[in-house]
Amino acid sequence: MRGPKVAQVNGIEIAYEEFGSGPLVVLVMGTGSPGRVWQAHQQPALTKAGFRVVTFDNRGIAPSSECADGFSHDDMVADTAALIEHLASGPAFVVGTSLGARITQELALARPDVVKAAVMIATYGRNTPLQQAISAGERALYDSKITLPPDYAAAITAHLNLSPHTLDDDRTAKDWLDVIGFSPQTVTPGVRAQLALHDHEADRLGAYRGITRPSMVIGFADDRTLPPKLAREVAEAIPGARYEEVAKAGHFGYLEQPAEVNRLLVDFLAAQA
């Protein structure tokens, strides 16, 4: 059944949508983005492949509880576990990107009972100076009440998140700039709370050796935000994890190269179903 719903879980409200029927797949989005981003490409492909797909807005993203006073990774992991339990379907396939991937691997470690298999896209197990600098800069802009000119904000977003192969084509680059400009990411108090998470991220690669659920990690060859070496480190840490790298894709690779990402997802999840 399709349509927005609200679950009262883990002491907050989580807004979610359901599509299709079959084995449950829960999709976890990254920093500052709503769950509906998955609905452009991954949700339709997974639904067509015979899965019941749930997208949701993480805490910090309205209409889920914004929790602007702050929260931790553990809170977001507990939210996802509670949502899976609310859906009452037993363990789920869990797929996350960026911050959502970090939540996914922590969930697989802390609550393997609710995870049937895990896919981490554009992920990381440790922070880097570049990540910390970008996050600190985004927080400083918000705290100083500075709003970048829309065209410049779109250009920076494209540069950080898209492959040079995409941006080298002038027409394609213009199309992406238009899309980003029409749907800019707004830093709300809840998103500001999500950004604060990046200042407190420990190196978790050693801990991930304790993950026992079947896992696949997908890196993007041209990812400037979270370079593929970081994703490869996570795959190397998780016993038996499969690693795949998608060419001509930046941090938004699941939107740039959806056919390849969807093929990897469907093949992996179907093999675990």
pLDDT band at residue 116 under the 50/70/90 scheme: very high
Residue 62 has pLDDT above 80, yes or no: yes
Q: What pTM did the predictor assign?
A: 0.96
**Residue-wise pLDDT tens digits, 173-210:** 999 999 999 887 788 999 999 999 987 788 999 999 99
- On whether the 4-127+202-272 domain is CATH 3.40.50.300, my answer is no
Tell me 57's DSSP state: P
**Residue-wise pLDDT tens digits, 125-156:** 998 888 888 889 999 999 999 999 999 999 99
pLDDT band at residue 273 under the 50/70/90 scheme: confident
Q: What average pLDDT score do residues 81-95 get?
A: 94
Instruction: Give residue limits of the domains in the chain.
Output: 4-127+202-272
CA contacts within 13 A on the Cβ side of 91:
15
Closest CA relative to residue 132, chosen from 203, 185, 71? 203
pLDDT recorded at residue 90: 81
| Token pair for 114 | 């609710």
Closest CA relative to residue 1, chosen from 23, 20, 26? 20
Residues taking part in catalysis: 98, 223, 251
With contact defined as beta carbons under 8 Å apart, do 162 and 128 qualify? no
